[in-house]
Amino acid sequence: AQSVTQPDIHITVSEGASLELRCNYSYGATPYLFWYVQSPGQGLQLLLKYFSGDTLVQGIKGFEAEFKRSQSSFNLRKPSVHWSDAAEYFCALDSDMRFGAGTRLTVKP
């Protein structure tokens, strides 16, 4: 069965620190994976997507994600977090768009 798991419900980082949000998937073939960001009370915005090819994917707002087939992971990273990055982040899998439960990011000044 297809599924996506985000193990961390809530993460707090200091402004300027690096960030990594975890996403694990279960899928029988090559997955198509997405990361979205949601500000409070808003819809979701696409950060980046992976379909094939290079395993390191660049997105908007300075985010990147690395696809690791051996670990069934697609973790989101950012080298230096800004206060405006505080939001909820969702990983999503493939065409029926199953979403993880989300990770809420808090940024400390």
Partner 1 sequence: DGGITQSPKYLFRKEGQNVTLSCEQNLNHDAMYWYRQDPGQGLRLIYYSQIVNDFQKGDIAEGYSVSREKKESFPLTVTSAQKNPTAFYLCASSSSDRVLNSPLHFGNGTRLTVT
The residue (of 3 and 80) whose beta carbon lies closer to partner 1 is 3
The residue (of 15 and 73) whose beta carbon lies closer to partner 1 is 73
Residues 67 and 69: their CA atoms lie apart, in Å, by 6
- Which of 28, 43, 53, 109 is close enough to bind partner 1 by CB under 8 A? 43
Question: Interface with partner 1 by CB under 8 A: which range of 17-25, 40-48, 59-67, 78-86?
Answer: 40-48
**Three-state SS for 31?**
coil
Residue among 79, 103, 76, 104 at smallest CA distance from 15? 79
Residues 65 and 4: their CA atoms lie apart, in Å, by 15
- Which of 85, 102, 105, 107 is close enough to bind partner 1 by CB under 8 A? 102
